[in-house]
A and B are shown apart, each in its own frame.
Chain A
Amino acid sequence: MGIWLAVAGLALGVLLGLNIPLVLPQVYAKYLSVAALAALDSVFGGIRAAMEDQFDNTVFISGFFSNALLAAGLAFIGERLGIDLYLAAVVAFGVRLFQNLAIIRRYLFRKLK
């Protein structure tokens, strides 16, 4: 049921995003990309936690939003400092994303056996 709820929410979000006539300025594209990556990481972290039966709703929600905002803020500060600090966020979240994916895969295989 949870999977279907997630898929429905995702579909609704995609629909909303496509139908909102707002196009963000290109300047914010970098922040938004990092924020999206962080959000994705949080989601996969949540799925992993759910599979380990350690899912905590508060941690999940706060992690989702704070990670996204923190990543965007980091990118912004990096921009002001002249350092490509968003790369750090990309690397960190990317690594965690793949780790989470690997763990989820293993859980799935274990379940299937």
Chain B
Amino acid sequence: MKLSTCFSLGLVALVLGMLIVFQFRVTRHIEQGIPSGRVQELALELRQLEKDKAKLEAEASDLSIKLEQVTRGQTEAEKALKDELAKARLLAGLVPVTGPGIEVTLDNPPQQAREGGPVSLYVIRDEDLLRVVNELRGAGAEALSINGQRIVAHSEIRWAAPFINVNLTRVVPPYHILAIGKPDNLKSALEIPGGLVEYLRDLGVQVKIQSYDRLTIPGYSRTMEFRYAKPVVKG
């Protein structure tokens, strides 16, 4: 036998032995673990699930953003409604208000006659109060009350002899009329020459007007109920 043949035979046998032993070892190793086909399957499944998970996570974050927007919108709407309600209550005169204004005090003429003057038998009537209130409103008063009764849109000032009813509540002299507005305007509207104060003083009524930087007018305390009036539904 030639030397090269011997050499090649030995080499081939060597490589073959190594290959076979390697294969044995690897096979034994595999049998302990998971078969490679199963591994591939599981890896594929894992990749698919990871993709699904990423997709779902994106969806979840998207939805949470939407939810946040919705709740934000809701709170905004709620806030707007509350603001609107507060504004409506303020305009309706249901809440106490404060601000600069004047106090007009009206009292019946004194029983004793002034020096040299005749005894006035005049008694302040509902019309006098109405005119004062009217004048004040005309001068831009934003809130009015008579003896603690807030004058609102449907308040009445009514003669119920021998008293005057305001908001169905009896008011007695002296009448304190509070008005919130620009004090100078309110005062000058009443004290204009030939105006209401002059007229009342001529009748013997004691009129006192005082300006305040800050006075508080209570809210309307009765319940308002519309039993007959219903809002018109459009469309």
Contacts and interface: CB of A to CB of B under 8 A. Distances in A.
Interface residues on B, range: 20 to 34
B21 A17 contact: yes
Contacts of B30: 26, 29
A15 B8 CA distance: 19
B17 interface: yes
A57 B2 contact: yes
A65 to B, nearest CB: 8
Interface in A37-63: 39-40, 42-43, 46, 55, 57, 60-61
A42 B15 CA distance: 12
Interface string B3-18: 0111011111111111
A6 B10 contact: yes
A5 B18 CA distance: 16
Given A14-B17, A14-B21, A39-B16, A32 B26 contact: yes
A11 interface: yes
Contacts of A23: 25-26, 29
17 contacts: A5-B13, A10-B13, A12-B17, A13-B14, A13-B17, A13-B20, A26-B26, A28-B26, A33-B23, A35-B19, A36-B22, A39-B12, A39-B19, A40-B16, A57-B8, A60-B12, A61-B12
Nearest to B21: A17
User: Would you call the interface of chain A mostly helix, strand, loop, or mixed?
Assistant: helix
A97 to B, nearest CB: 13
Nearest to B4: A57
A9 B26 contact: no
Contact of A2 (B4, B9, B29): B9
A81 interface: no
Contacts of A17: 17-22, 25
Contacts of B8: 57, 60-61
Interface of A: 1-2, 5-18, 20, 23-24, 26-30, 32-33, 35-36, 39-40, 42-43, 46, 55, 57, 60-61, 64, 68
Contacts of B18: 13-14, 16-17, 20
A16 B13 CA distance: 12
B36 A43 contact: no
A10 B22 contact: no
B27 interface: yes
The listed residue with most B CB atoms (<10 A of its CB), out of A35, A40, A46, A61, is: A61
Nearest to A17: B21
Contacts of B17: 9-17
